[in-house]
Amino acid sequence: MTVLARALDVTRRYHDTTALDGVSLDIPAGQVVGLLGPNGAGKSTLINVMTGLLRPSSGSVELCGGDPRSESTRRVIGVTPQETGLPETWRVTELVDFVAAHFPDPVDRAELLDRFDLTALADRQAGGLSGGQQRRVAVALAFVGRPRLVFLDEPTTGLDVDARRALWDGIRSFHADGGAVLLTSHYIEEVEALADRVVVMDHGRIIADGSVAEIRGRVRLKRVTLTDPMLPALSGVASIERDADRTHLLTNDATALVRELVTSGASFTDIEIESASLEDAFLAITGDRRTG
């Protein structure tokens, strides 16, 4: 399989902090990779290094076999501007035409606007659009140059459900045509819906990398909360956290845990079972949960 983008043992330091710590990542053609991680995990730095905006402190980055800082390799990637930064006085059509002028074989404008449900907004100035509309425009710009690989940094944060679905459809149709995507998101359901593969980062390192099914198995945790001063030893618990008299147990199998609690004769009361947050899942994976 052709590797479109490759980071090899990339470390990136800012002054005294290490944003990336020995990261290696291959993105093959046609694959949608979901990049998950808490704030400050290094996701944006990784994208900036892979798109050639930042130089790695050590290690190497290749884009289609070339230097990401050279002009020719940039023709095959698409990047999204932060939507807050669209020039206010430009119309949507002007933005699309402007970006298109940089590429040898850009997508037809009407087709692109249609794909991202922007046709009705074509003549509006960017500054007059809502935040969600601006974000859709910003994401659409990444696809103007018929890229083979698109970098999307939190494309749907702050979008309503309809707008998010519209964007997902746009990304899916790009994927169906053979395009590769590196996607970061705070929404695990977004990654589940779009990605073939999930990479989890924390503290500048990749701590999990696998198919959606594999990662889902690891992060599909339940949070079981109960009151029990004398908790017996339990198997199948990813982490235990206490606050005041309540105890929070993270587990992959809530049913088995409850069965275990009952058969062990534990004297628990007020049991609640809820889905664990994404942060819970990350912290469980890193094993970094504070105890006590």
Partner 1 sequence: MSSLTMTYTRRNLAETIRTPTMFLTVALVPVGVMVFFVVPFIGQDAAAITSATATLVVFGVLMACVAHFSVAIAAQRESVWGHYLRTLPGGIAPQMFGYLLVGLAVVAAAIVPILLVAGVFTAASAPPSRVLLAAGALLIAVVTFTLLGLAMGYLMSMRAAAIANSIGFLPLAVAGGMFFDQADTPEIIEQIAPFVPTRGATDLVLVALTGEPVGPLSLVMLAVWITIFAGLTVWGHRRDQVRRFA
CB of 283 vs partner 1, minimal distance in Å = 31
Selection from 172, 166, 185, 157 nearest residue 113 by Cα: 166
Smaller CB separation from partner 1, 97 or 253 = 97
Q: Restricting to residues 24-63, which ones interact with partner 1 according to CB under 8 A? A: 51-55
DSSP letter at 276 equals P
CB of 96 vs partner 1, minimal distance in Å = 12
Rounded Cα–Cα distance for residues 153 and 173 (Å): 18
CB of 182 vs partner 1, minimal distance in Å = 13
Smaller CB separation from partner 1, 53 or 262 = 53
Q: Is 168 in the site for partner 1 (CB under 8 A)?
A: no
- How many residues contact partner 1, by CB under 8 A? 27
How many CB atoms neighbour CB 73 within 10 A?
Answer: 19
- What are phi and psi for residue 283, nearest 5 degrees? -65, -35
Q: Restricting to residues 78-107, which ones interact with partner 1 according to CB under 8 A? A: 79-82, 84-87, 89-90, 94, 98-99, 101-103
User: Which neighbouring-strand residues pair with 32?
Assistant: 181
Rounded Cα–Cα distance for residues 32 and 25 (Å): 13
CB of 86 vs partner 1, minimal distance in Å = 7
Selection from 153, 184, 178, 179 nearest residue 79 by Cα: 153
265 three-class SS: coil
Q: Is 232 in the site for partner 1 (CB under 8 A)?
A: no
55 three-class SS: coil
Where does this chain bind partner 1 (CB under 8 A)? Answer: 51-55, 71-72, 74-75, 77, 79-82, 84-87, 89-90, 94, 98-99, 101-103, 145
